[in-house]
A and B are shown apart, each in its own frame.
Chain A
């Protein structure tokens, strides 16, 4: 679902075809019929943005027909735990959970906790960014007393147990409702339910694959939660052939999250400290919690080792290992917020773009370009010239007069970058495998790696500040910046060694994160990568041929953590440690040897027996019982219900997209009540019910990749082979829509939103089937998004159509579904384009407030969330 694997990850798709050849059934659930659909046993056309309604229907089908894998669910999930009496469901509150404050559009999540572990209420005027879950890293907020035992009902019959709450929450997600919301015929929906449930259980497992078709939504995190609930109920997590696969879209996008260049994370999913963290202890209390289970219990060792890697000898126990040197976050500092601050001026002065082309590749390209045109300076590092470096002379805003070259103040530096064959280092691919690349040749001219650039920049900054007495310069002056060098750049192997971790007493690399210490005797740049340089050997460089290794290919590259291929694989054995079935055995307890063993590295303490019961008062790793398979979770269980950690509710709930042609059929609450809206004149929204005039933008729009181009096009539009294979931007429409709007195959058309209009060639195709949704026909249109004004093949920027509205958990934009109009012929050019789009906005009654009155439950439409966000006190 939400993935076109055959075209976006073609070489990975060979394994789906292998599975199919061995008898697996493949279902593809997606708005558009693609090459993935063509290879599937069954394609299911779904209205974009309605996946939770569909998956909720699957959950309801499982629970109504008692098709869950009951022993797995009882043992390994939080199904038996009882919830607080204060918890109220969306069924009680017309689409909201308890704790909602319409004034701030944020939840106080305290009522979502387990019954025996009351959480402190957090009422008041907390802005949603301050209460957002990112404060807690990947572990999520802690649950008081989780290690001490949580009140539960193993029969799963108590009305307040998670299992019964789940049942009630999804009880109206019937096949009829799925058909009305998603446009999927009931028989087809039930065929999916049958296939999924029949192929799960002791003997069989089902895998679920998604991509950015799930993440780029205002409810993106909850799409994934919904898939997780299905997979947990069916016992498909931690088992061979099961799982949820996030197919990531770039060579090392997994690595960019693990070793993050993200505002809210430190390496290894440790949270970036915020203003409430006065010292290392308060910070660590927030990460570990008190009386929590699991491997976050050793967060002190992970964090102290990171601080030691950053600040070396300067970091001591006496000075909290320089914890004070870390800058503090106190809100949304994500890339879209930053770009709006650039547009507003006076806040952001300099900007680095490192192999990234936001003028084409980020949502709302116009906002991106206007932001870049209002800087003191911009540094662009890329292989080839890109639109984000040349906006001052060829942006679409030059044509409309919004940017005038001679009046554009931004100073631009372009640095040519070294390519992947001109530098050594690791990429982390989509299944967490680090693979080392050797350097094949030297870069030429001024081409340099990022490693060279940032090392050099650091050296020069240190020189400039040398001798400074200013306390704010200490973090830079004390920074450990003395990696071994190869030529004039730091040795990537030595950087990887430091990421792996080094025991300062011996000077040798540690073998894994279990060796890390909280006493300052180890350094480690990223605890989850610890082990990649075990035994002073670059494990990521291993290339033992597949012809010489077993089915788990454990000697090709290195997979975090500790070369495990299946996370939470303790769940592949039953609570007693025996494989659920011979056919699906992966790891198991060897009683004679007194250890966990199997085909994969066991994701459990090696010598902890399955019947182990943690002593009272234990916490952290020691508090994990022998059947707590989910070792990173606070209570050791897989979460059907998330008692904490999500900004927009403990259970996934169907909300309509921010821009939708339809009213929510399940609740008065139309869209995600916590979604992040940026109500600004330069970021208009198309109206959606209950607002009037959604008919001005009557069609559902979605965008995705082609096989032959790559994201914003910098790595493909300039290559003759690829430009020839996909020479022009196009828009796919159904024959019915073509007839309705007078569009002719291969003629020009333009697509319009309240942001802009873009030209494209028309492709009339059955791939885009009209849907019958709640008694009416809904048309969907699709575009690839790789084009921009430069390169061997040029075209309009499709991302210019998209406004900025984001998921409240992760601040990813909703770019996979919006509404639009489509018209034959080309769009107006120059200033006439602005007038043309302004006319659409007038006809649709669009103001800055459109789309920002996000609380609509119970018929009350609350205040608009517009900028500047200076809410008046409610009367």
Chain B
């Protein structure tokens, strides 16, 4: 190691001779911190997204590395949000990557005292059977005056307002074809 390099590795020397006399920037950097980069720089790709909390519609940039979300930030290009996110929007990486996210289908049988795991495919079949059963039990062909109702009051749905338009569209379409009417949303609350 030459004298110059030896001296340059000494923070006090860099502080006295460099552009950082207060020693709060480059002068204080170690080899390790000098080598650190932001997660946004090393991401494999960035997806354009929108914050899922309130209805302002702040644009988000979702940074992905090794097929994992590594950071979510506001998008400065947005004419709506100009890059800003509120505390909730800023916490949305925790929302999508946190340990609270459930991974498996869970099932609680009637009168049961604990959750059981259930295979997704089996669960879908069970739900399909139950939908037809509830539909049948609540079916109404006509009202008391003989007017056509052609509906079931046996099943109901309540959706949150973070569903996509495309999802809401299929939900309404399928339930309507089943004759189910009580299809509701946070929008009425």
B165 A461 Cβ-Cβ under 8 A:
no
The answer, among B50, B102, B174, for a CB contact under 8 Å with A414, is B102
In the bound complex, residues from chain B placing their C-beta under 8 Å from that of A457 are: 124, 127-128, 131, 174
| Shortest Cβ-Cβ A-B pairs, 3 listed | A429-B57, A425-B164, A355-B160
How long is the Cα–Cα vector from A385 to B90 in the complex, in angstroms? 22
In the bound complex, residues from chain B placing their C-beta under 8 Å from that of A812 are: 188-189
Q: Provide 26 A-B residue pairs closer than 8 Å at the C-beta atoms, listed in order of the A residue.
A: A250-B55, A251-B161, A253-B185, A255-B168, A256-B187, A275-B143, A325-B150, A347-B153, A349-B137, A349-B138, A354-B159, A413-B123, A420-B162, A421-B62, A421-B72, A427-B52, A430-B56, A435-B57, A441-B68, A441-B69, A446-B103, A490-B170, A495-B169, A718-B98, A722-B88, A812-B189
Those of B100-127 within 8 Å (CB) of chain A: 100-115, 118, 120, 123-127
Contact with B along A285-327 (1 / 0, CB 8 A): 0000000000000000000000000100000000000001111
The answer, among B77, B103, B145, for a CB contact under 8 Å with A444, is B103
Interface check B12, CB cutoff 8 A: no
Selected interface stretch from B18-26, B34-42, B79-87: B79-87
The answer, among B78, B102, B180, for a CB contact under 8 Å with A327, is B180
Of B69, B160, B178, most A-chain CB atoms within 10 Å: B160
Q: Taking the nearest CB of chain A, how far is it from the CB of B98, in angstroms?
A: 6
B55 A525 Cβ-Cβ under 8 A:
no
The answer, among B55, B101, B108, B169, for a CB contact under 8 Å with A249, is B55
Contacts A429-B57, A476-B177 hold; do A460 and B124 have CB atoms under 8 A apart?
yes
B177 A310 Cβ-Cβ under 8 A:
yes
How long is the Cα–Cα vector from A383 to B95 in the complex, in angstroms? 9
In the bound complex, residues from chain B placing their C-beta under 8 Å from that of A433 are: 57, 80
In the bound complex, residues from chain B placing their C-beta under 8 Å from that of A415 are: 105, 120, 123
How long is the Cα–Cα vector from A267 to B50 in the complex, in angstroms? 23
How long is the Cα–Cα vector from A254 to B55 in the complex, in angstroms? 8
In the bound complex, residues from chain B placing their C-beta under 8 Å from that of A247 are: 55
B187 A335 Cβ-Cβ under 8 A:
no
Closest to A709 in B: B88
Q: Taking the nearest CB of chain B, how far is it from the CB of A489, in angstroms?
A: 10
In the bound complex, residues from chain A placing their C-beta under 8 Å from that of B174 are: 454, 457-458, 461, 479
In the bound complex, residues from chain B placing their C-beta under 8 Å from that of A450 are: 163-164, 167, 170-171
A464 B88 Cβ-Cβ under 8 A:
no
Interface check A668, CB cutoff 8 A: no
In the bound complex, residues from chain B placing their C-beta under 8 Å from that of A11 are: 56, 58, 80-81, 84-86, 89
In the bound complex, residues from chain A placing their C-beta under 8 Å from that of B153 are: 333, 341, 347-348
Contacts A383-B100, A410-B110, A708-B87 hold; do A438 and B128 have CB atoms under 8 A apart?
no
A420 B188 Cβ-Cβ under 8 A:
no
A439 B47 Cβ-Cβ under 8 A:
yes
Closest to A353 in B: B158
Q: Taking the nearest CB of chain A, how far is it from the CB of B20, in angstroms?
A: 32
Kindly count the residue-residue contacts between A and B in the assembled complex, taking CB atoms under 8 Å apart: 468
Closest to B145 in A: A275
- For this complex, into which size category does the number of interface residues on chain B fall? 35 or more
A492 B98 Cβ-Cβ under 8 A:
no
Total interface residues on A, using CB and 8 Å?
Answer: 158
Interface check B2, CB cutoff 8 A: no
In the bound complex, residues from chain A placing their C-beta under 8 Å from that of B16 are: none
Q: Taking the nearest CB of chain A, how far is it from the CB of B159, in angstroms?
A: 4
A261 B171 Cβ-Cβ under 8 A:
yes
Beyond A349-B154, A464-B128: 16 further Cβ-contacts under 8 Å?
A250-B54, A260-B185, A261-B168, A310-B177, A350-B156, A352-B155, A413-B118, A414-B108, A420-B96, A430-B55, A435-B59, A441-B68, A450-B171, A454-B170, A461-B132, A475-B176
Q: Is the interface of B mostly helix, strand, loop or mixed?
A: mixed
How long is the Cα–Cα vector from A639 to B145 in the complex, in angstroms? 37
Interface check A196, CB cutoff 8 A: no
A385 B50 Cβ-Cβ under 8 A:
no
Interface check A449, CB cutoff 8 A: yes
B143 A330 Cβ-Cβ under 8 A:
yes
A451 B170 Cβ-Cβ under 8 A:
yes
Contacts A427-B164, A546-B82 hold; do A499 and B57 have CB atoms under 8 A apart?
no
Q: Taking the nearest CB of chain B, how far is it from the CB of A260, in angstroms?
A: 6
In the bound complex, residues from chain B placing their C-beta under 8 Å from that of A356 are: 158-160, 185-186
Interface check A392, CB cutoff 8 A: yes
In the bound complex, residues from chain A placing their C-beta under 8 Å from that of B164 are: 252, 255, 423, 425-427, 437, 449-451, 492
Contacts A352-B158, A707-B86 hold; do A479 and B188 have CB atoms under 8 A apart?
no
How long is the Cα–Cα vector from A3 to B165 in the complex, in angstroms? 26
Closest to A813 in B: B189
Selected interface stretch from A142-150, A400-408, A621-629, A686-694: A400-408
Q: Taking the nearest CB of chain A, how far is it from the CB of B11, in angstroms?
A: 33
Interface check A345, CB cutoff 8 A: no
Of B104, B108, B109, most A-chain CB atoms within 10 Å: B108
Interface check B149, CB cutoff 8 A: yes
Those of A351-382 within 8 Å (CB) of chain B: 351-358, 361-363, 376-377, 379, 382
A328 B47 Cβ-Cβ under 8 A:
no
B101 A350 Cβ-Cβ under 8 A:
no
How long is the Cα–Cα vector from A464 to B145 in the complex, in angstroms? 32
In the bound complex, residues from chain B placing their C-beta under 8 Å from that of A449 are: 164, 167
Those of A227-255 within 8 Å (CB) of chain B: 247-255
Interface check A34, CB cutoff 8 A: no
B165 A327 Cβ-Cβ under 8 A:
no
B184 A354 Cβ-Cβ under 8 A:
no
A334 B48 Cβ-Cβ under 8 A:
no
Interface check B181, CB cutoff 8 A: yes
How long is the Cα–Cα vector from A411 to B159 in the complex, in angstroms? 19
How long is the Cα–Cα vector from A583 to B88 in the complex, in angstroms? 38
B54 A249 Cβ-Cβ under 8 A:
yes
A472 B150 Cβ-Cβ under 8 A:
yes
Interface check A343, CB cutoff 8 A: no
B178 A461 Cβ-Cβ under 8 A:
yes
Of B69, B102, B163, B183, most A-chain CB atoms within 10 Å: B163
In the bound complex, residues from chain B placing their C-beta under 8 Å from that of A475 are: 176-179
How long is the Cα–Cα vector from A556 to B59 in the complex, in angstroms? 10
How long is the Cα–Cα vector from A338 to B183 in the complex, in angstroms? 10
In the bound complex, residues from chain B placing their C-beta under 8 Å from that of A448 are: 120
A259 B168 Cβ-Cβ under 8 A:
yes
Interface check A716, CB cutoff 8 A: yes
In the bound complex, residues from chain A placing their C-beta under 8 Å from that of B77 are: 543, 545-547
How long is the Cα–Cα vector from A342 to B157 in the complex, in angstroms? 12
A255 B165 Cβ-Cβ under 8 A:
yes
Contacts A249-B55, A439-B47, A447-B103 hold; do A348 and B88 have CB atoms under 8 A apart?
no
Contacts A475-B177, A720-B94 hold; do A275 and B162 have CB atoms under 8 A apart?
no
Q: Taking the nearest CB of chain B, how far is it from the CB of A321, in angstroms?
A: 14
Q: Taking the nearest CB of chain A, how far is it from the CB of B171, in angstroms?
A: 5
The answer, among A354, A427, A453, for a CB contact under 8 Å with B158, is A354
B130 A407 Cβ-Cβ under 8 A:
no
How long is the Cα–Cα vector from A322 to B59 in the complex, in angstroms? 41
Contacts A256-B161, A384-B102 hold; do A263 and B177 have CB atoms under 8 A apart?
no
Interface check B172, CB cutoff 8 A: yes
Contacts A406-B113, A451-B170 hold; do A445 and B103 have CB atoms under 8 A apart?
yes
How long is the Cα–Cα vector from A413 to B116 in the complex, in angstroms? 10
In the bound complex, residues from chain B placing their C-beta under 8 Å from that of A330 are: 143, 147, 149
Closest to A708 in B: B87
Of B81, B139, B169, most A-chain CB atoms within 10 Å: B169
B181 A437 Cβ-Cβ under 8 A:
no
How long is the Cα–Cα vector from A725 to B86 in the complex, in angstroms? 12
In the bound complex, residues from chain A placing their C-beta under 8 Å from that of B141 are: 472
Of A439, A721, A725, most B-chain CB atoms within 10 Å: A721
A338 B156 Cβ-Cβ under 8 A:
yes
